[in-house]
Amino acid sequence: MTPTRLLRSSVLLLILIAAGCTSSKPVDMKEPRRVVGTENDVRVDAEVYGDKLAPNVTLPLKYDITNHRPLTILIADLLPESSYDPETHTVTVTIGAEIPGEHFLPRLIPIQPGEKKSFSTAVRVVIVTNPSSPWMPRPNALRLKINFLGDPKPFEQLVAIPERALHDPQLAEKLFPKWVEGNETVITNTLPMRWQAVTEEPTPVTTPARRRRGT
């Protein structure tokens, strides 16, 4: 299987696991554990619950996406993914999808011109490294990368559909080049994180009571 097909298959796995995000109250702009990114006339504000990274940890977060464009943008409703770059010691949480699935296509959430939508979710961070070594730099930062589609016209069949995903291999094949060409990104600044090596079964980072997610 080619790398492209592997990536497209991974999107299907994410769809089958769970929904990517739920509506929420807006991010608290006074919260110090906040990151922001503005690119391509799209702004992202995010709040991260917790300041620790570990080999295996779940981090709850909430984020706002504001569309300053004259056209609607679309966000794929998928679970976020995480990756670790040992050169920069940074974890990147990716929201949305750079490519569509090979057989299943995700539901797309529209954000109208001038509109801001708020979401809450959680990301599973798995870091495969050896930071226990005294000579190995520790993971120490986190950022968000949001993928969105800037032209909604080719993807109208997927906008706000009732299903989490649509099974249509022919449509997936047809939309593949348009999705790849139309994908745009916003990357936030990095947020300092502390490293905590654990030897026992990890427990998720809990959201403080005062920061309960909106319904």
Q: CA 142, 43, 75: angle at the middle one, nearest 5? A: 85
Tell whether 70 is covered by a domain: yes
Tell whether 157 is covered by a domain: yes
Tell whether 213 is covered by a domain: no
What is the percentage of the chain residues whose pLDDT exceeds 90?
A: 66
Domain that residue 7 falls in: 3-200
Domain count, the chain: 1
Burial of 128 (0-12, 13-18, 19+ CB in 10 A): exposed
pLDDT number for residue 196: 86
Tell whether 93 is covered by a domain: yes
pLDDT by residue (tens digit) across 102-141?
899 999 999 999 999 999 999 999 988 665 666 677 899 9
Tell whether 215 is covered by a domain: no
Burial of 172 (0-12, 13-18, 19+ CB in 10 A): buried
Q: What is the pTM of this model?
A: 0.79
pLDDT by residue (tens digit) across 40-95?
899 999 999 989 999 999 999 999 999 999 999 999 999 999 999 999 999 999 99
Can you tell me the mean pLDDT for 140-151? 97
In the DSSP assignment, the letter for residue 98 is S
pLDDT number for residue 135: 67
pLDDT number for residue 197: 76
pLDDT at 9 > cutoff 90: no
pLDDT number for residue 119: 95
pLDDT at 96 > cutoff 60: yes
Nearest to 149 by CA among 179, 170, 192, 177: 179
pLDDT number for residue 191: 96
Tell whether 112 is covered by a domain: yes
Residue 198: which pLDDT band, with cuts at 50, 70 and 90?
low
